[in-house]
């Protein structure tokens, strides 16, 4: 789904647990400010910073960050073909727990990704692949639009693929 459903599919499945943990409002405000500051320039680094912030926000249950990042028309397509809108991603973010965050961190450490960003004006396409097991890759794509002074996500696609 989204790592925004930006994380590999297995991590997204972890995101589907039904437990709740959230950050304080002060921490949320700080992360919102960091989001706005980190995304100002039209650079690859700013897009990657927004994406990494998204991952952390989903892990930690920072709904304010995800709300600020996702455009109202945001959609994510998971490897099974299911479609998830912004509200679904926010609902899932609200279910974060400390245990789930630790599980995701472990997964990410064991499954590194190869990220690439292509910028074209106010549009950024971030692609990444993660080895899910010895034979299967997860290919993901997040599309960001620079709007209202920040990079904001509009679309994500996640696909399973066999490794050659």
Q: Is the pLDDT of residue 60 over 80?
A: yes
Q: How many structural domains does the chain have?
A: 1
d(CA 70, CA 88): 11
What 3-state class would DSSP assign to 73?
strand
Helices (H) and strands (E) in the chain, counts: 6, 6
2 belongs to a structural domain? no
Highest mean pLDDT among 19-28, 54-63, 106-115, 124-133: 54-63
How far is the C-alpha of 101 from the C-alpha of 62, rounded, in Å? Answer: 12
Residue 4 lies in a domain: no
- Tell me the two tokens of residue 31: 């992360």
Q: What is the mean pLDDT of residues 38-42?
A: 61
Instruction: Give yes or no for residue 138 having a pLDDT over 70.
Output: yes
Tell me what pLDDT residue 131 has. Answer: 63
Which domain covers residue 65, as residue numbers?
Answer: 9-162
Whether 66 is in a domain gets the answer yes
Contact partners, residue 58, CB within 8 Å, separation at least 6: 2, 3, 4, 6, 7, 15, 66, 89, 92, 93, 96
Q: Exposure of 82 by Cβ count < 10 A (0-12 exposed, 13-18 middle, 19+ buried)?
A: exposed
Please give the model's pTM, rounded to 2 decimal places: 0.72
Can you tell me the mean pLDDT for 27-33?
52
Instruction: Please give the residue that has the higher pLDDT: either 109 or 158.
Output: 158
What CATH number is attached to the domain comprising 88?
3.10.450.50
pLDDT(40) > 80: no
SS3 54: helix
Q: Which residues pair with 138 in a beta bridge?
A: 130, 160
Percent of the chain with pLDDT over 70: 71
The answer to whether position 138 is within a domain reads yes
Q: Determine phi and psi for 3, rounding to 5 degrees.
A: -75, -15
Q: For 46, what's the count of Cα atoms within 13 Å in the CB-facing half-sphere?
A: 22
- pLDDT above 60 for 152: yes
User: What is the pLDDT at residue 102?
Assistant: 87
More confident residue, 43 or 21: 43
């Amino acid at each position: 789904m989204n790592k925004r459903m930006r994380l590999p599919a297995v991590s997204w499945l972890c995101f589907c647990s039904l437990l709740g943990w959230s950050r304080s409002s002060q921490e949320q405000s700080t992360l919102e400010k960091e989001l706005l500051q980190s995304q100002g320039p039209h650079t690859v680094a700013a897009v990657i910073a927004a994406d990494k912030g998204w991952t952390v926000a989903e892990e930690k249950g920072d709904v304010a960050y995800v709300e600020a990042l996702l455009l109202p028309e945001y959609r994510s397509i998971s490897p099974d073909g299911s479609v998830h809108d912004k509200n679904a991603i926010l609902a899932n973010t609200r279910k974060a727990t400390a245990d789930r965050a630790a599980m995701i961190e472990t997964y990410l450490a064991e499954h590194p990704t190869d990220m690439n960003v292509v910028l074209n004006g106010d549009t950024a396409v971030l692609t990444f692949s993660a080895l899910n097991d010895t034979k299967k890759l997860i290919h993901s794509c997040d599309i960001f639009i620079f709007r209202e002074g920040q990079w904001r996500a509009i679309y994500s696609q996640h696909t399973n693929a066999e490794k050659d």
